[in-house]
Structure 1
Amino acid sequence: MHPSLPIRRERRTTTSRPGKQGGAALYVALMILILLALLGIAGMQVAGLQERMAANYLGVNQAFQAAEADVRLRECFIEGVVNRDGACAAGATAIQQICDDGFDATNWAAEMSTDVPQVNRVNVRAIGPCISGNSELSMGTGPVNEDPNPVYQVTVYATNAAATANAAVDTIFRP
């Protein structure tokens, strides 16, 4: 090397061009995070809705089971009255013997639901005389002699324990 010549050092610098790298990876990652967050929110809403639906189903089922149990108790009582053995005295209830009162179980249950909902309601009717022609012309009195065709209509309105759901069961019972 000659002392009078300056030493040249080449420097290689890499400069990034703003046109080629614009942070696209950051934007894609943010979009994916937003989509995942929306999926999570939708999943939470669906889970909450399903939980409320399950709770409502449970309440309605409990109300129906309460009404069904009450109907079976009243039917057992009627069986005890007909057979004169006094079975199921805990289900004792008044048995109506009126044929022409226009009783409609659907309207009766609707009226019960507007009443105090925590109390179960029962309506028992002896409809055998009404359908077998074993009643007098007045159609509002009981049979003259014992009905050879005992048929009863038992209607029960019940709620679940929390009084959030109600159910009505209407049966025709022949002991």
Structure 2
Amino acid sequence: MNRLHRLQFQSRPRQRGAVLYVALIMLLLLALLGVAGMQVAGMQEKMAANYRAAGRSFQNTEGVVRNAERAVEAVTDRTAIPSGSLLTSAASIGQNCEDGFDPVQWASLQASPGVPAINVRQIDQCGGPGGNALDMGVPNDRTSATFQITAYSADDPANPTSSSVIDTIFKL
């Protein structure tokens, strides 16, 4: 009987543990996929934050431009400057057409990156020889004033991560 038991035991095929190796390799692949997925999700989060900061900075700069337009209109009409337009006054409107103003260079020279800034120039008198009017040769329109408004602002004044510059022409 002992011999019969030995024969039955020996007749069974030997197990080599291949399933264990396959399972470990599959777990390793799943772990690598999980790590790659986490990296992709982290990158997408950073991209969304940058997109949000850029949009917020542009909207803040656009708000500064709109406030400046309201203030310029009030200065031109000789009415009270609306509240919230503290960056623009009658004294801050430049009249020099030949100063070589460059909006990009002006924005790079802003000392405080989180503080909004504005530059307003009256350009309706800039036609004629030596001027830099966009409508060279066309008579100046004396009934309404034209201004170049350049504004700079950031997404968050306390911790700026993105900034924008908007350069507009505003005609009353």
TM class, shorter-chain normalised?
0.7 to 0.9
The answer on 1:158 being equivalent to 2:156 is no
Residue in structure 1 matched with residue 107 of structure 2 by the alignment: 109
Cα root mean square deviation, aligned: 2.4
The answer on 1:79 being equivalent to 2:73 is yes
Separation (CA, whole Å) in 1 of partners of 2:2 and 2:17: 37
Instruction: Map Cα deviations across residues 114-159 of structure 1 (whole Å, 9 max, x no partner).
Output: x22121111000011013x4xxx797xxxxxx94341100001101
**How many positions carry a matched residue from both structures?**
155
Larger Rg belongs to:
1
What TM-score do you get using the length of structure 2 for normalisation?
0.80
Q: 1:50 to 1:8 in 2, by over 3 A?
A: closer
Offset, 1:89: 5.2
Q: 1:138 to 1:90 in 2, by over 3 A?
A: farther
Separation (CA, whole Å) in 1 of partners of 2:53 and 2:165: 13
Separation (CA, whole Å) in 1 of partners of 2:2 and 2:38: 67
Q: 1:147 to 1:96 in 2, by over 3 A?
A: farther
Separation (CA, whole Å) in 1 of partners of 2:118 and 2:84: 13
> Gaps (5+ residues) in structure 1?
1-6, 140-145
> Gaps (5+ residues) in structure 2?
132-140
Contact kept? 1:59, 1:164, Cα under 8 Å? yes
Contact kept? 1:125, 1:153, Cα under 8 Å? yes
Q: Percent identity?
A: 41
Opposite residue 97 of structure 2, the aligned amino acid is C
Contact kept? 1:129, 1:149, Cα under 8 Å? no
The answer on 1:34 being equivalent to 2:22 is no
Matches within 5 A, 1:38-57: 38-57=32-51
Offset, 1:22: 2.3
Instruction: Map Cα deviations across residues 21-64 of structure 1 (whole Å, 9 max, x no partner).
Output: 32211111111101100000001101111111111111111111
